[in-house]
Chain A
Amino acid sequence: MQISLQQVAFAAIALVVLGSALMVVTLRNIFHSLLFLALSFVGVAGVYLLLSADFLAAVQVLIYIGAITVLMMFALMLTHRVMTTNVTQTLGQWHLAPLPVALGLLIILFRLFVLHPWKLEADAARVGPTTGIIGQALLTKYVLPFELASIVLLVAMVGAIVLAKEDKPDGPA
C-alpha cells in the first residue's frame, strides 16, 4: 500500500491530538492540562482540514480555542486554590473503575465500528469552500434547529449569569 502525503499528515495530527489528550487526563497540574486541551483542539482543527471542512476548522479555532479554553482558564483562575500542584487531581482508585471502563469501551467501539467493513471511498474530487453551502442549509432545511440553537444559547447565557451572580443578602431578590 502506497503511503500518501495526506496519510502522513493524518498520522502526525493524530499523534498530536491523542498525545495531548492523554496529557489532559493524566497531568497533575490542572493548568498544564488545560493548555494541552487547547493543543488537542488545534489538532482536531487539523483533522477537519484534512476532511476538507474549512469552515468547521475555523469555527473550531474560534469557539473551542478562542472561547471555551479561555472560559475554562477564567474559571480556573477564579477557583485558584485548586491550582496549587500539591492537590491530588485524580480519584484515589483511578485504576479500579475508570481504566477498565475506558479500555472496555475502546474495545467495543473498535469491534463494532472501526473494524466494520464500511466499503466507503471518498471521491478524490476537491470539495470547494463549504461556508456558503452550510449557510444555505442552515437557513433552508435546518432553519428550525438553527432558531432552536439561538434559543439554547440565549437560555445558557442568562442561566450562566444567574448562576454565577453573587447573591447579596440585602439586594433585590
Chain B
Amino acid sequence: MVPLEWYLGLSAVLFCIGVFGVLSRRNAIAILMGIELMLNAANINLVAFGRFIHPTVLTGHVFAVFVITVAAAEAAVGLAIIISAYRNIAHINADKINVMRW
C-alpha cells in the first residue's frame, strides 16, 4: 500500500505550486488555473484521509464532491468577470486592473 504521507506530500507540493502560480502570474486566467491546482490538492487530502480513517463511510468523498461543485461555480463566475473586464478595458492583466482602486 501507498503510505498516507506520500499522498500528503503530493498534495502539499501541488498546493504550493498553485500558490506560486497565483502569486506570480499577471494574466487573470492563469491565476484561476493556480486556484484550480490548489483546490485539487485539497481534494487529494480529503480523499486520502477518508481512505485511511474510514474506508467505508466515504465522508471525504462527499466533501470532495462539494469542493468540485464550488470549484465549477467559481470558475464560471471568475471567467465571466474576466470576460466582462476584457470587454471594458481590453486586457486582463491583474496588475493593471485598478479601476476600482480609490
Interface residues of A (CB under 8 A from B): 4, 6-7, 10, 14, 17-18, 21-22, 24-25, 30, 33-34, 37, 40-41, 44, 47-48, 50-53, 55-56, 59-60, 63-64, 67-68, 71-72, 74-76, 78-79, 81-82, 88-91, 94, 97-99, 101-103, 105-106, 109-110, 113-115, 118, 120-125, 127, 130, 133-134, 137-138, 142, 145, 149, 152-153, 155-157, 159-161, 163-164, 166
Interface size grouping (class) on chain B: 35 or more
Pairwise interchain contact B37-A75, C-beta atoms closer than 8 A? no
Bound complex: CA A164 to CA B80 (Å)? 5
Report 5 cross-chain contacts, Cβ distance below 8 Å, ordered by A residue: A63-B72, A79-B83, A105-B19, A122-B55, A137-B57
Chain B, 8-34, CB within 8 A of any chain A CB: 8-10, 12-21, 23-27, 29-30, 32-34
Interface residues of B (CB under 8 A from A): 1-2, 4-10, 12-21, 23-27, 29-30, 32-34, 36-37, 40, 43-44, 47-48, 51-53, 55-59, 61-62, 64-66, 68-77, 79-84, 86-87, 90-93, 95
7 smallest A-B Cβ distances: which pairs?
A156-B73, A98-B23, A25-B21, A102-B20, A163-B80, A98-B24, A160-B80
Pairwise interchain contact B56-A30, C-beta atoms closer than 8 A? no
Pairwise interchain contact B79-A18, C-beta atoms closer than 8 A? no
* B84, chain A: closest CB distance, angstroms: 5
Name the one of B19, B47, B51, B69 contacting A153, with C-beta atoms under 8 angstroms. B69
Pairwise interchain contact A110-B9, C-beta atoms closer than 8 A? yes
A64 contact set on B, CB distance < 8 A: 36, 40, 68, 71
**Known A18-B14, A138-B62: A160·B79 in contact at CB below 8 Å:** yes
**Known A51-B51, A55-B61: A68·B72 in contact at CB below 8 Å:** yes
Name the one of B47, B79, B83, B84 contacting A56, with C-beta atoms under 8 angstroms. B47
Bound complex: CA A25 to CA B57 (Å)? 36
Using CB atoms, name the residue of chain B closest to A99: B20
A114 contact set on B, CB distance < 8 A: 5, 8-9, 12
Pairwise interchain contact B23-A78, C-beta atoms closer than 8 A? no
Bound complex: CA A72 to CA B75 (Å)? 8
Bound complex: CA A161 to CA B91 (Å)? 20
New contact pairs (17) apart from A10-B6, A51-B47, A109-B12, CB-CB < 8 Å: A25-B24, A53-B51, A56-B43, A64-B68, A75-B82, A75-B83, A98-B20, A98-B24, A113-B12, A122-B51, A122-B52, A122-B55, A142-B62, A152-B70, A152-B73, A153-B69, A160-B79
